[in-house]
């Protein structure tokens, strides 16, 4: 076959249907792509613990990009390297203070798979696949022991835009922040300069895949740089307008096998009848 493609998939709203499962058809087409010699990589804002099951379900053999590029590693090959880019503690504490002064519902700091909650919060605990043994609850200014990989902020829904503007005004040079779509309305904060494209570029180079042979699928604002970087940056049918505006193409929605639909056509993966 000709040189392989690298296929990067976001999880929520992209690979996953709204019920957080991978459709049979999408799974089939991705496996067929791998049988044809192409590579599939997960690129997500989720931590590894929240994406590991899909990595194994698809039987991937690639690195995985978590926390929007703040953590990249290879689950099946420790020798590949482990790239962790947390934010500095003084920056993290300043952000936490800004958010608490804003009277948000909660602030969550993640140090890889260890989770630190400022307030007890059943919604967060139940929604974020948190292993209770890795969970710590208490004043983050006092209990956070290490530089965090990311900080998640749960503002009141009507304050999301206002808080993002405040974070930008006070901390723009040291952090990047994105919003998770409904039903979360969570603001995710990572170290400045990190995004999914940074992680995807690292993976592509390790596999000797040129940029023009990278296909990336996404739906939210944390996918913007990845979609711009990829030779084929594809927005899902359910994607936000800003992503559709910069994408090379638009496929069907996550509920309608958008990934499978696009790949079958581009990579000639349709099953012969």
Active site members: 10
SS3 185: coil
Neighbours of 37 (CB within 10 A): 11
Return d(Cα 203, Cα 74) in angstroms, integer.
10
Cα–Cα distances (Å) from 51 to 1, 35, 60, 127, in that order, read 30, 22, 12, 13
What are 259's two structure tokens?
A: 């990934």
Neighbours of 250 (CB within 10 A): 15
Cα–Cα distances (Å) from 231 to 210, 212, 228, in that order, read 9, 4, 8
Residue 114's DSSP bridge partners are 111
Neighbours of 157 (CB within 10 A): 10
Neighbours of 230 (CB within 10 A): 29
- E strands, 173-218, where? 175-179, 187-191, 214-218
Which DSSP category does 239 fall into?
A: S
Return d(Cα 2, Cα 4) in angstroms, integer.
6
Burial letters for 45-59: b for 16+ Cβ neighbours within 10 Å, e otherwise?
bbbbbbbbebbeebe
Pairing of strands 214-218, 187-191: unpaired
């Amino acid at each position: 076959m000709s040189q392989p493609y690298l296929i990067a998939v976001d999880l929520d709203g992209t690979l996953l249907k709204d019920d957080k499962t991978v459709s049979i058809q999408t799974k089939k087409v991705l496996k067929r792509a791998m049988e044809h010699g192409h590579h599939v990589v997960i690129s997500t804002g989720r931590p590894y613990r929240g994406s590991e099951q899909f990595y194994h379900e698809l039987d991937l053999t690639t690195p995985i990009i978590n926390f929007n590029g703040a953590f990249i590693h290879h689950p099946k090959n420790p020798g590949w390297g482990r790239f962790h880019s947390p934010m500095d503690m003084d920056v993290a504490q300043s952000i936490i203070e800004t958010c608490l002064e804003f009277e948000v519902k909660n602030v969550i700091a993640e140090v890889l798979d260890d989770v630190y909650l400022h307030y007890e919060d059943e919604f967060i605990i139940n929604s974020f696949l948190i292993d209770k043994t890795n969970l710590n609850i208490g004043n983050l200014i006092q209990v956070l022991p290490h530089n965090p990989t990311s900080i998640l902020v749960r503002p009141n829904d009507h304050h999301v835009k206002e808080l993002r503007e405040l974070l930008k005004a006070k901390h723009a040079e040291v952090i990047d922040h994105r919003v998770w779509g409904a039903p979360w309305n969570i603001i995710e904060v990572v170290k400045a300069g990190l995004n999914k494209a940074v992680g995807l570029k690292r993976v592509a180079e390790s596999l000797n895949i040129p940029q023009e042979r990278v296909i990336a699928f996404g739906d939210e604002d944390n996918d913007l740089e990845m979609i711009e970087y990829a030779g084929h940056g594809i927005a899902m049918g359910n994607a936000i307008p800003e992503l559709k505006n910069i994408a090379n193409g638009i496929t069907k929605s996550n509920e309608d096998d958008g990934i499978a639909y696009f790949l079958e056509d581009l990579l000639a993966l349709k099953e012969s009848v």
